[in-house]
Amino acid sequence: MIRILQISILCFFLVAGISISSSEEEEETIYKILQDNGLPSGIFPKGVTEFTFDGETGRFSVYLNQSCDAKYETELRYDTNITGTLSSANVTDLSGISAQDLFLWFPVKGIRVDVPSSGLIYFDVGVVRKQYSLSVFETPRDCVAVRRENEVESSVLSLHRAVLIEEATAHPCGRTFLSALIQLVPCRPSVAPFSTLSPNGLCCAAIKRLGQPCLCALSKGPPISGVDRTLSLQLPGKCSANFPPCN
């Protein structure tokens, strides 16, 4: 009788252990799904309250308690709801994440990493494809709640940016400081203070396409954090675009 009781107790603990193990295996997080698809878990910040993921289509929705900012090599802003399509080493149709460049916020439309890994991660922000060190996104970052005044400021700048982009499409550069700044975002690596980098193809294409008004608008505008004015005025020469001097 005692032997039977001992066997019964042993079976109970074995079954309980299997149940606990199964529950742990079934529990899945959005961070693990990112890793399973060849992406770093730090793409999303800490504080995800819930998420949905369709394994067949790759569509996902991620929910946060509040809009927040996370600091990486740049600052990223996360809305309360982030959506997109996940595939191997790639996120497309992304909505709900913005990246700051200079003092403007640009919506991130996609994220990808190289296969095999190059150690870089790429953010498609529409006007340019930004690249960062992959190691920066290895783990989720703390995310600080966006203050109400910052949300209003971001909305105003987003609206202003959209108007300026439309203006620049109709009239190259729009001859305004902000529209010039937006069009010349690809040039930023070569105009950072103490930069020795030559302007890339995207930068030179923008300079040649938009012409003298952009550089003149930039030279007459207020100082820009992270931009060396002298280096920016050297861009036409470095891109073999011989513009007349600004009046």
- The pLDDT score that the predictor gives to residue 15 is 46
- The pLDDT score that the predictor gives to residue 222 is 65
Phi, psi of 16 (to 5 degrees): -65, -40
Mean pLDDT value across residues 84-95: 96
User: Across all residues in the chain, what is the average pLDDT?
Assistant: 77
Residues spanned by the domain of 50: 30-145
In a domain, 159, yes or no: yes
**Model confidence band, residue 247 (pLDDT cutoffs 50, 70, 90):** low
| Res. 171: pLDDT tops 70 | no
What pLDDT digit, counting tens, does each position of 112-140 carry? 999 888 999 999 887 667 888 999 999 99
Choose the weakest-confidence range: 44-48, 79-83, 202-206, 226-230: 226-230
Where a domain ends, among 96, 114, 145? 145
| Res. 195: pLDDT tops 60 | yes
- The pLDDT score that the predictor gives to residue 70 is 93
Q: Find the CATH number of the domain harbouring 195.
A: 1.10.110.10
In a domain, 2, yes or no: no
In a domain, 23, yes or no: no
Higher-pLDDT residue of 174 and 49 is 49
Give the chain as a 3 state SS string.
Answer: CHHHHHHHHHHHHHHHHHHHHHHHHHCCCHHHHHHHCCCCHHHCCCCEEEEEECCCCCEEEEEECCCEEEECCCEEEEEEEEEEEEECCEEEEEEEEEEEECCEEEECCEEEECCCCCCEEEEECCCCEEEEEHHHHCCCCCCEECCHHHHHHHHHHHHHHHHHHHHHHHCCCCCCHHHHHHHCHHHHHHHCCCCCCCCCHHHHHHHHHHCHHHHHHHHHCCCCCCCCHHHHHCHHHHCCCCCCCCC
Q: Are residues 162 and 196 in the same domain?
A: yes
Mean pLDDT value across residues 231-238: 85
In a domain, 86, yes or no: yes
- The pLDDT score that the predictor gives to residue 188 is 79
- What's the number of domains the chain is made of? 2
Choose the weakest-confidence range: 66-80, 82-96, 102-116, 222-236: 222-236
Higher-pLDDT residue of 243 and 70 is 70
What pLDDT digit, counting tens, does each position of 33-78 carry? 999 999 999 999 999 999 999 999 999 999 999 999 999 888 899 9
Mean pLDDT value across residues 4-26: 46
In a domain, 196, yes or no: yes
| Res. 19: pLDDT tops 50 | no
